[in-house]
Amino acid sequence: MLNKLSTFLYAILPPGRDADRPELTLQLAVAVLLIEVMQSDAECAFDEQVTILNILKQRFHLSDAEVAQLTERGQQASKFANDLHQFTSLINHELELPEKIRIIEYLWQVVYADGKITAHENHLMRRLVDLLHISHGDNIAAKLRAKPEGFK
C-alpha cells in the first residue's frame, strides 16, 4: 500500500531534488484534504480558496509560487485519487496527535470560510476525523477554535 502511495505521489511530483523531500508528500496530503473539503459542497467559493492558500503558506512556510504549485498538484491528486485513505494514512504515519488535530482545525477553517456548513461538508469532516483517529472531543474543540467570531 505504501509503495502504491509513494509511486502515485512521485508520479505527480516533478523529478529532481524536490521529489526526494518527504515533507512534500506530507504537504501534498494536507493540500488534498483541504481541497476535498472545499469541493465537498459543490461550490468552490473564493473565500475557501484564499483560506487554503493562507493555511498552506503559514503551515509549511511556503512562498506564493510554492503554494500555487502545491495547490495545483493537490487538485491533480484529488482528481485522480480513488479515496482519501492514502492521504490520511500518510498523515497518520508522519504526524503526532496534536499536529493532526491542528489539521482538523485547518479543515474546519475551510468549511467556515464561505459562511455556511453544508451536510456534505459535515459528512466529509466526520469521515476525516475518523480516518485521522481524532476523538470526538478533540474534533469539537478544533471546530470551536476554527469558528470565526460572529458565525451563526
Domain ranges for the chain, please list them: 2-146
Cα torsion for 66, 108, 23, 87, to the nearest 10°? Answer: -110
Distance CA 30, CA 25 (A): 9
CA distance 86 to 2: 8
What average pLDDT does range 64-74 have in this prediction? 95
pTM of the model: 0.84
CA 108 – CA 101 distance, rounded (Å): 11
Residue 87: name the closest of 30, 4, 13, 10 by CA.
30
CATH code: domain 2-146 is: 1.10.3680.10
Share of the chain above pLDDT 70, in %: 84
pLDDT digits (tens, 9 = 90+) for 9-51: 444 444 343 444 555 699 999 999 999 999 998 777 899 999 9
pLDDT (average), residues 58-78: 94
Range 73-78 average pLDDT: 93
pLDDT confidence of residue 23 = 57
pLDDT at position 8 over 60: no
CA distances from 2 to 23, 63, 82, 138 (A): 16, 29, 15, 28
CA atoms of 107 and 144, how far apart (whole Å): 12
User: Over the chain, what is the mean pLDDT?
Assistant: 87
* Number of other residues whose CB lies within 10 A of the CB of residue 59: 17
| Cα 106 from Cα 71, distance rounded (Å) | 15
